[in-house]
Structure formats: structure tokens, C-alpha cells
Homo-oligomer: A and B are copies of this chain.
Amino acid sequence: MPSRRTTAGDIERYAGLFARRTHGMTSSAMRDLMAVTNRPEVISLAGGLPDTSTFPPELFSSLMSKVGATSSAQALQYGPTEGLPEARDCIVQVMAAEGMHVEADDLLVTTGGQQVIDLVARTLIDPGDVVIAEAPTYPGAVPVFASFQADVVQIELDADGLRVDLMESTLDRLQTEGRRPKFIYTVPSFQNPAGVTLSLERRQALVRIAKERQLIVLEDNPYGLLRYEGDAQPTLFALDGGEYVTYLGTFSKILSPGLRLGWCAAPRPVLERLNAANAAADLCSAPLAQYFVGAYFREHDWRSYVRTLSEVYRRRRDTMLDALAEHLPREASWTHPQGGLFIWATLPDYIDTTDLLARALRENVAFVPGRAAFLDGRGGSSMRLNFSGVGEDEIREGVARIGKVVREQVALYSTLTGAVPADPTARHARTAEPDAPGATVHEFRARRAGDR
């Protein structure tokens, strides 16, 4: 980030040059936050970082030595936009491990999973087109949807994931209003940020709706293999057979995000457009990283590393759940994820987590304020907590620090209002209903062309 802050004069000089799509981009607060959380004294529960220190450095070195010895010139060269055969063959294996059967030609290798969201939005969204997302949704998708000027309709989650029962009435209403949704964006397993998992019945219902209404579903599944309890669920892609479901996968959470390698599997006509957009965006994804993945899958049992990660993260999840029970006041509630990286906690509605973050940072702890997961400013009393990126001691200490600033706010509120704490049975709720449970469908209408 530039150290010299922009002056008003600078802004004025260039103001007229920026495209309308940039007006809705709201990522700078998150980026400023990330800059703060990089300070070594801060315990960050904000990021979605895997623990890459669990990957053996000597394995990294030996794999790269082999890539150098056998494929230096190719690893350093441009590659095909759709990805190298070596990498696509590995992806076929990863998808098979979750019950999906694809050929290499069904796949497009991308620069991380993030690029899939970007390419899908870019390929499908005209300003004002509707995207259906979860409430809350992945905070990193919010600036993508905003930058393509989408109208995002967010449908509530509960402990069983997206409220698919609300989908049909929402689609009917949109149709009445003459608004056609272009795609449904969902993270069905261990959702980011809520941690909840879509039930089998809802998965089947969602796929049926997509087929009946000829709607594309973008299934974002970075964590599906990181399950710590309960039975695996079939992916939407597996249930649908790849007809209406476009699948987003990534090596970021099962190997490394520093490679920047993700992929999508999609119906062929969609894949061809995504591939053309991919070429325009960055020509191809790094062959260097693709050769590393190829060598890793040849030389090593990739599933054993996923098992290692799952064991580490399961313990950290349990540690965080225990710490939340110990340190958050009874008015708070939080989700119990069966896998993935995140817990979603909701505080009494008089606490604003964006304000709370400023206090928390003074205590050297960070989280993602809930508003980052909505396009309409909602989520103000919730927060996303990550348990994969730091060790168990830091999780305990980080949650204790958050507990301290939360309890201060609760005490302040009680003093000011004379209020009594809420019903203790709300404590340790298995699933926090995202705030304001009465309102189940949230809308955000991006700026239209004329709104400059």
C-alpha cells in the first residue's frame, strides 16, 4: 500500500477518469485492516490463512530441485491458458476424492479460486444483473460483485446452510419484477464466513431448482476435503453432473495459496467463455506453480497431507470453540463448523463489530467485521473468526482479548441502560442465526449506469 496518502488535490485531478464500476468497490477498509494485522504483535484471527508451516521445507526444496532438473525451461515459459496437462491431471484426482468425475478438458486452471469468481462475474454480469448469494457471503466476493455492478440478493443461512426453501419464492419475485438472476453463488461446505454446511436435502433441492430454471450455480468449494466430523456430503457438481453447476476448486487450502492455483469445471459453452476471459485477464496461470503441483502429486501422497492439516485444524477449531465458551458473554452465539477454517460469532445487536475492531486492535487482536460479508451494511454485530492460521495458544489468547473488549462493551451498555443480560439459554447455541432473523432476504442494488 502506498505510504504517501492520497491528497484531495490528487483525487480531484483523476476523479473523472475512473470507471463507474470502481465506485462500488469497497475493499480498501479490508486492505487497511490486513496491513495492520501484519504487525507481528497482532494475533490475527482475521485472515483465511492455512498453516503453511506444516508443509515440510525439505520437501519443497527437493520437489523444486526435481522441477529444475527435468522441466526448467517449460516451468519458466508461458503455458496454455487452460492450464498444463500435468496440473489438470492432479485436479482430476482432487475432484475424484470428492466424488466428481471429470476429464482434463472439462477444467480451466486459474490464478487461485478468487479468479474463478472474477471470471464468472465478468463473463455473466452486465450492470444491474442479479446474483444470488448467501447472507453472509464470502467477503472476498463482495468487491467482485460490486465491481461488475451486480444487484446482489442475499438469502439467509441457518445451521443447515443456505435457506433453499426461500429460493423459489425469491426467484418468483425476481421474475415478476423482470429481473433474471445470472447465477447463484454458494459455498456449500464449511461456508465462508459462517462455517455452516448445506444439508443433503437442500443440495438436492438447489440442484433441482437450477435445472428447472436453467440457472448457473457457482459452487465454491475450497474446504470440502477439510472435514473434522460428520459425513461427507456430495458436491452440487456431483449431484448435477456438471450441467448447471460451475465448480470452483483450489490448491490453496489443501496444499498452498502461495502458488496461486485454482480451477473451475463448467459446462463447455461456459468454460469456453471463461477461458477467453482468462486469456485477457492474465494469459495463463504460472507454469512454475503447475509443475510444482505435478511433481508433488507424483512424489508424495497429497491426501496424507490433507489428513495432517485436518488433524491440526480440528484441534484448533476445538480450542477456539472452548475459548469462545470461556470468554464470550452469554449474550453471544456462534456456529459449530464441521470443517473448514471459520467460526461466525454474533454479539448482542448493540455492539457494532466494526467499531469493536478498532478496540480489539488496541489489544493486538484482529477479526473480520461481519459487514464485510454483506453488500448492504448489514452484519454489524457479527464477526468472522479464523482458526487455521495461528496455533492453539494464540487462539486462546486471541479469543481472550476479544472477550475482554466485548465484555467491556456489554458492561458499558448495561451501565448506560440498566439492561439485564439476555436469556442464558442463548449461550453456546449450536448455530448463530445471522443478525435480524426476521429479515431473511437482503438486497443490494449496485449503482446503475446513471448514478455517477
Contact = CB atoms under 8 A, between A and B. Distances in A.
A137 interface: no
B268 A4 contact: yes
Copies of the polypeptide in the assembly: 2
Nearest to A261: B286
Interface in A109-127: 111-112, 114-115, 118, 122-126
Contacts of A1: 80, 82, 105, 272, 275
B105 A13 contact: no
B256 A25 contact: no
A75 B49 contact: no
A80 B112 CA distance: 14
Closest 7 CB pairs of A and B: A61-B68, A64-B64, A57-B72, A76-B256, A60-B68, A52-B76, A258-B287
Interface stretch (A139-147, A308-316, A320-328, A337-345): A139-147
B19 A126 contact: yes
B124 A17 contact: yes
Interface stretch (A26-34, A156-164, A193-201, A415-423): A26-34
B269 A288 contact: no
Given A111-B260, A122-B147, A280-B144, A31 B275 contact: yes
B21 A276 contact: no
A277 B34 contact: no
Contact of A17 (B22, B144, B216): B216
A284 B260 contact: yes
Interface of A: 1-4, 6, 10-11, 13-14, 16-22, 25, 27-28, 30-31, 34-35, 38, 47, 49-50, 52-53, 55-58, 60-62, 64-65, 67-69, 72-82, 103, 105-106, 111-112, 114-115, 118, 122-126, 129, 140, 143-144, 147-148, 180, 182-183, 214, 216, 252, 255-260, 267-273, 275-277, 279-289, 292, 449
A25 B114 contact: no
Contact of A258 (B31, B79, B270, B282): B79
Contact of A268 (B2, B58, B114, B115): B2
A10 B269 contact: yes
A11 B75 CA distance: 35
A168 to B, nearest CB: 20
A271 B182 CA distance: 31
Given A28-B272, A78-B252, A147-B277, 11 more contacts: A1-B82, A2-B271, A10-B268, A17-B270, A19-B129, A57-B68, A74-B258, A118-B280, A126-B449, A260-B282, A288-B289
Contacts of A147: 122, 277, 280
Contacts of A122: 19, 21, 147
A87 to B, nearest CB: 12
Contacts of A256: 76-77, 288
A73 B55 contact: yes
A78 B280 contact: no
A119 B1 CA distance: 16
Contact of A182 (B17, B60, B80, B281): B17
A61 B69 contact: yes
Contacts of A53: 72-73
Contacts of A144: 280
B273 A22 contact: yes
Contacts of A292: 288
8 contacts: A19-B122, A19-B148, A55-B73, A74-B258, A118-B282, A260-B260, A260-B282, A260-B284
